[in-house]
Amino acid sequence: MSSRRQFWATVTAAADRSYSKTDPDATFMRLKEDHMRNGQLKPAYNVQISTSNQFVVNYSIHPNPTDTNTLAAHLDQYEKSFGRSLKSITADAGYGSEENYTMLEEKKIAGYVKYGLFDNRQHRSFNSKHPFSADKLHYNPRGDHYICPIGQKMRYIGNTINRTVTGFLQTARMYKASNCSKCPLNGACHKSKGDRIIQVNLNLERQKRQADELLTSQQGIQKRKRRCFDVEPVFGNIKHNHKFRRFMLRGKQKVEIEWGLIALAQNIRKKAA
Ligand code: SF4
């Protein structure tokens, strides 16, 4: 089970850039539990942990405010510590990206990892509210075209390639409708001025279908339930019961040691209980 929380770094100086002047390893992040409740940015670290029965079995400290780009380093850390890879991982939608799914495939790790709209898609009301979304259009593999809601072909017009901050290339195929301006569904079907264009990342769609299969299986449902009472209470215990919200040391290396002691204390308390 993997999850993360952000903790203040021990600095108070404000900076007009994304990193702190007094702890250059920390990054300014918008913390949920900002005591002023006005969404201030604070210098912080993104702490990732993996747990098993509420024991911390792996942790890693990151300067990235988002989780997507932390998974690879977190798993590398696990492999370094245990000399082997995981068989499966359960994580929330913050980690569900094409880059992460591809990495899990390469490492042969079963990824019980949600993607952005996974929870919404489980509700019938969400699906009925978006009847014209691209994922509901019929695809004809022989002709390599989609059929738009009124029954016209949407033809392939080329690829678009996006490079992520880590250099991973995401390729999407683009399909274009014709004569949307004369269509009675125009406006309801899409909001763009010209003819509708959809972008389909075939690899990501395949990975999402695979994630759907795993997450909705009996085992997947159990793992998702378990995640809520395995990893989340560990952060709850450390932050709320033991009031640890702010690192006392500066610099990533020292913060890693400080968090290691926190994790060790959590495991000893758990063992004693
Ligand atoms: S608006 Fe365009 S894409 Fe939508 S149904 Fe009409 S012709 Fe098809």
Residue 170 identity (one-letter amino acid): Q
Q: Tokens 């389909």 correspond to what residue?
A: 200
- Average pLDDT per block of 10 residues along the chain, 273 residues long: 52 42 82 67 88 93 88 93 91 93 96 91 78 89 94 95 93 95 90 92 95 96 90 90 90 94 95 90
Question: Nearest C-alpha to atom 2 of ligand 1 is from which residue?
Answer: 180
- Residue 234: closest CA among 212, 204, 265: 265
Phi, psi of 40 (to 5 degrees): -70, 150
Measured from the Cα of 187, ligand 1's closest atom is 1
205 CA to centre of ligand 1 in angstroms:
22
Residue with tokens 């075939």: 202
Could you say which DSSP state residue 19 is in?
B
Task: Quote the pLDDT of residue 12.
Answer: 30
| Structure tokens, 157 | 């017009």
Confidence at residue 140, expressed as pLDDT on a 0 to 100 scale: 94
Note the pLDDT of residue 1: 55
Index of the ligand 1 atom closest to the CA of residue 180: 2
List pocket residues of ligand 1, CB cut-off 6 Å: 148-150, 152, 177, 180, 183, 185-186, 189-190, 196
Ligand 1 atom with the smallest distance to the CA of 178 is: 7
Q: Which pLDDT belongs to residue 122?
A: 85
CA distance 136 to 111: 24
CA distance 119 to 208: 12
Domain boundaries, the chain: 2-119+209-272, 131-202
Q: If 0-12 CB within 10 Å is exposed, 13-18 middle and 19+ buried, where does residue 129 land?
A: exposed
Residue 37, pLDDT score = 66
pLDDT for 13 equals: 30
Mutate to test the pocket of ligand 1, among 195, 196, 197 (most ligand atoms within 8 A of CB): 196
Bridge partners of 162? 170
Whole-angstrom distance, CA of residue 157 vs CA of residue 150:
20
Q: Which of 76, 144, 80, 68 is nearest to 113 (CA)?
A: 68
